Structures are given as structure tokens and as C-alpha cells.
């Protein structure tokens, strides 16, 4: 039996920090409201000329360095993003060239905030099927580019960043299971209503922003993530107490706390970066993971549960023996 093992992680956040106090200056909000309702204190924002691929490159280089892998070792690149540099080529192909990797398959995955879990599942399945041996999996976003900075219901929530992992084929577990779901009937609760095929152009720019019915999304996220936690444990024949670490999507501290309670996990066993990063969409899970690996909290042999929920709706989880 072949598994994929995570052998290196990396993360990157742009230099510029936007605090809640900064937001108070140009949008009708308050630090108190944002912290109480979301747990967010600040977020990082990409520089004017900094793109998703720029962030992805830094995170990928760090993950490859941690994995002690060079360009020639990588035989698959899967990159999750909602905010690609260009319509095409894919950001994965742009990243491939930056890293001087040639010839292997490279493609983007689009599942908004669940993007990294989707990308991880795709790469894991490639490795399990024997179609790849060493995969670079990235979640990278410049979500600030699709925010309406006049809409206090959305602009205070998101930030930019990138996270990456390197997966390698191994006889030892490994990613134990991944679980992916979607239901397009809920598209309009959380979406950017504009798009290429609808005649996206500069005149329409005003529409190319995130729109969200936050309260309805919140309720769906809590219920759906609760269900996927049960599904993941049942599939693996594990109990809640078998999970050492929860690495959740970082959308809202209240959602994270709800899932931790459901798992009966103390908050010390939950990786929480939402206060400093905000919601970085596809980058949030790998950024949180990288932070906890690098500061020594997560150790080899521990059992990790990743989960995410996002636009689509999409949702997913991964259970990992690290
Ligand atoms: N500052 C001050 N007041 C605000 C702000 C703000 N930034 N935003 C909204 N409000 C006001 C509203 O106008 C409303 O006022 P009213 O009662 O006078 O009408 C009040 O606060 C309550 O608004 P709600 O939307 O009901 O607030 P809620 O407690 O639900 O929090 C939030 C909003 C934070 C967006 C929450 O609903 C949430 O986290 N939703 C889920 C987000 C999520 O998980 N998304 C999925 C991933 S994202 C992706 O895939 C792209």
C-alpha cells in the first residue's frame, strides 16, 4: 500500500499588515466588532505589484527546503487559488517556471476556501495511484484584490498569503483519508458574480467582488463542518480522542471554537492563526499547519485533522498521520 507523507511545509505572508484600527479609518466598523464576531485582529495584504504566484513561490521554496527536495525531485504541482495571476496559464504553470521545474503535470484547483484540502486530496490520489512520487501542493491567494473595500460585511474578513507542502510516496502512513464535497445550489450565498465568460471587462470591474450572506454561510459552515468531522472519524474507525491536532480553515474563531468543542479538543490542541492572518482562503490551512510545524507544536507521529468550508459551497477534510 502506498501512502503520501508530508515531508516539508512552507508559508509566506506579505509584509504589509492591515490592522482593525487601520480599517476603522475608511470603513464603518470597529476593532471591537471585528474581534468579537470573528477573532481577527489584523491581516496581511499583498503589495501593489505582488501577485499570487509571488506569494506561492516563497511558500513553495520554503516547503521544498524543509523537505530537502530540489526542482528535479518534484513530479506534480497542484495549486489551489481563487485569485490567479492570469486567466491562463494556470498559476501552477507560472510557479513551475519560477522554480525551474520542467515537464511534470502542473495545474490549478479552484474550490475557494476549501482549495487546499481539494489540492491535497488530488495530489494524494495521484501518489496513491502511482502517477506521481513527489508532489508540491500549494494554496495561495491575493484575496484582497476581489474585495469591495466599501463592504464592511466582507472586507474586514480576508487577507493574503500562501502555504505549501511537499508530499512523497511512502510505505508508511501518511495521509489516511481525504473527504471532498460540494453543493452548487448554494453558489449565491457566497460568490463573485462576475466572470470571464459573462464578458468580464474593465467597465464591469465594480462587480468583480466577493459578495456574502455571512449569517447564512456561518450556519451552514458550522453544521457542515460538524458532519465532515464525524464522517472522517467514522471512515477511519477513530474516536474524537484519537485526534491530536485540529488544523481548521481560519474563517472565524467562533466557527473554529464550535468544531473544537464538538471534538472535545481543548483550544491548545487547535491551530489558530485567524487573529493574525484573517481568512486567507486556500492559503489558510497550509499557513496554519506550517506555523505549528515550525514552532514545534506539531510533532511526527501525531494525528492531524484538517477541515475547510468555502464558496461553492465546497467543504472537505483530511486525516493525516504526520
Ligand atoms: N463592522 C461593524 N458592523 C458590521 C460589520 C462590520 N465589519 N459587518 C456587519 N456588521 C453589522 C451588520 O450590518 C449587522 O447590523 P444590523 O444588525 O444593524 O443589520 C450586524 O453587524 C450583524 O451582522 P451579521 O452578518 O448577522 O453578523 P454575524 O454575527 O453573522 O457575523 C460574519 C458576520 C463575521 C461574516 C459571520 O457571519 C461569518 O463569519 N460568516 C461565515 C464566513 C465563512 O465561514 N465563510 C466561508 C469561507 S469564505 C470563502 O470561501 C471565500
Task: Tell whether 168 and 276 lie within a shared domain.
Answer: no
Report the separation in Å between the CA atom of 214 and the middle of ligand 1, taken as the mean of its atom positions. 5
Q: Which pLDDT score, from 0 to 100, does residue 205 have?
A: 60
**Same domain as 316, residue 181:** yes
Q: Is the pLDDT of residue 119 over 90?
A: yes
Residue 147 and residue 13 in one domain: yes
Question: What is the arithmetic mean of pLDDT over 248-271?
Answer: 96
Dihedral of CA 98/99/104/105: which sign? negative
Q: Is the CB of 215 under 6 A from ligand 1?
A: yes
Is residue 240 domain-shared with residue 192, that is, in the same domain?
yes
Domain total of the chain: 2
The residue-averaged pLDDT of 1-5 equals 96
Distance 213 CA to ligand 1 centre (A): 8
The predicted model scores a pTM of: 0.97
Please tell me if the CB atom of residue 190 comes closer than 6 angstroms to any atom of ligand 1.
yes
Which pLDDT tens digit goes with each residue over 54-78?
999 999 999 999 999 999 999 999 9
Q: Is the pLDDT of residue 251 over 70?
A: yes
My answer on whether 152 and 197 are in the same domain is no
Q: Which residues contact 22 (CB under 8 A, 6 or more apart)?
A: none
Contact by Cβ (8 Å): 292, 247 = yes
Radius of gyration of the chain (CA): 18
Ligand 1 center to residue 182 CA distance, Å? 23
pLDDT digits (tens, 9 = 90+) for 32-48: 999 999 999 999 999 99
**Is the shortest distance between the CB of 254 and ligand 1 below 6 Å?**
no
Longest dimension (CA), the chain: 57
Please report, for residues 74, 93, 100, 108, the alpha-carbon distance to residue 103 in angstroms, rounded to integers and kept in the order given.
Answer: 10, 10, 10, 16
Q: Which of 123, 152, 172 is the last residue of a domain?
A: 172
Full residue range of the structural domain in which residue 246 is found: 177-321
Given 172, 193, 218, which residue is the final one in a domain?
Answer: 172
* Spatial CA neighbour of 136 closest among 86, 81, 80: 80
C-alpha cell at 317: 477534510
Q: What is the pLDDT of residue 203?
A: 56
Looking at the structure, do residues 295 and 189 belong to the same domain, yes or no?
yes
Is the domain of 244 the same as that of 218?
A: yes
- Of 110, 141, 172, the domain-final residue: 172
Distance CA 110, CA 96 (A): 18
Could you identify the residue written with the cell 515550525? Answer: 294
pLDDT of residue 79: 99
Which pLDDT value is given to residue 237? 98
Same domain? For 68 and 142 the reply is yes
- For the stretch 72-86, pLDDT in tens is 999 999 999 999 999
Would you say residue 233 has pLDDT above 70?
A: yes
Distance in angstroms (rounded) separating the CA atoms of residues 205 and 14:
24
194-219: pLDDT as tens digits: 888 887 665 556 668 999 999 999 99
Co-location of 136 and 64 in the same domain: yes
Checking phi first, is residue 264 left (phi over 0); if not, alpha (psi -120 to 50) or beta?
left
Whether residue 283 has its Cβ less than 6 Å from ligand 1: no
Q: Distance from first CA to last CA of the chain, Å, rounded?
A: 17
The ligand 1 atom nearest the CA atom of 23: 7
* Percent of all residues in the chain with a pLDDT value above 70, rounded to a whole number: 98
Q: Averaged over 146-164, what is the pLDDT? A: 97
- Quote the pLDDT of residue 125: 98
238 and 312 together in one domain: yes
120: domain CATH number is 3.40.47.10
144 shares its domain with 182:
no
Pairing mode, strands 303-310 and 245-248 = parallel
Cα dist from 314 to 187, 220, 282, whole Å: 10, 11, 12
Based on the fold, state whether residues 133 and 185 are members of the same structural domain.
no
Amino acid at each position: 500500500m502506498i501512502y503520501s507523507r508530508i515531508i516539508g511545509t512552507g508559508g509566506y505572508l506579505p509584509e504589509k499588515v492591515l490592522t482593525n484600527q487601520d480599517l476603522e479609518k475608511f470603513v464603518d466598523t470597529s476593532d471591537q466588532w471585528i474581534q468579537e464576531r470573528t477573532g481577527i485582529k489584523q491581516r496581511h495584504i499583498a503589495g501593489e505589484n505582488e501577485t499570487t504566484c509571488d506569494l506561492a513561490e516563497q511558500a513553495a521554496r520554503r516547503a521544498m527546503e524543509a523537505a530537502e527536495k530540489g526542482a528535479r525531485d518534484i513530479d506534480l504541482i497542484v495549486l489551489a487559488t481563487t485569485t490567479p495571476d492570469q486567466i491562463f496559464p494556470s498559476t501552477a504553470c507560472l510557479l513551475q517556471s519560477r522554480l525551474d521545474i520542467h515537464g511534470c503535470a502542473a495545474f490549478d484547483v479552484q474550490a475557494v476556501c476549501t482549495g487546499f484540502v481539494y489540492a491535497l486530496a488530488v495530489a494524494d490520489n495521484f501518489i496513491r495511484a502511482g502517477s506521481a512520487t513527489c508532489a508540491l501542493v500549494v494554496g495561495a491567494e491575493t484575496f484582497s484584490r476581489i474585495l469591495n473595500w466599501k463592504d464592511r460585511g466582507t472586507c474586514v474578513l480576508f487577507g493574503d498569503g500562501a502555504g505549501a507542502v511537499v508530499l512523497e510516496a511512502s510505505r508508511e502512513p501518511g495521509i489516511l483519508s481525504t473527504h471532498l464535497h460540494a453543493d452548487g445550489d448554494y453558489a449565491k450565498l457566497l460568490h463573485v458574480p462576475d466572470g470571464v465568460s459573462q464578458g468580464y471587462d474593465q467597465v464591469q470591474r465594480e462587480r468583480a467582488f466577493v459578495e456574502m450572506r455571512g449569517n447564512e454561510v456561518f450556519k451552514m459552515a458550522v453544521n457542515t463542518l460538524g458532519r465532515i468531522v464525524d464522517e472522517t472519524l467514522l471512515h477511519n474507525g477513530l474516536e474524537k480522542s484519537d485526534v491530536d491536532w485540529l488544523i481548521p480553515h481560519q474563517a472565524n474563531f467562533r466557527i473554529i471554537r464550535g468544531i473544537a468543542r464538538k471534538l472535545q479538543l481543548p483550544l491548545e490542541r487547535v491551530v489558530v492563526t485567524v487573529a493574525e492572518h484573517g481568512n486567507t482562503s486556500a492559503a489558510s490551512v497550509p499557513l496554519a499547519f506550517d506555523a505549528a510545524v515550525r514552532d514545534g507544536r506539531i510533532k511526527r507521529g501525531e494525528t492531524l485533522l484538517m477541515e475547510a468550508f468555502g464558496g461553492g459551497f465546497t467543504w472537505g477534510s483530511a486525516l493525516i498521520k504526520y
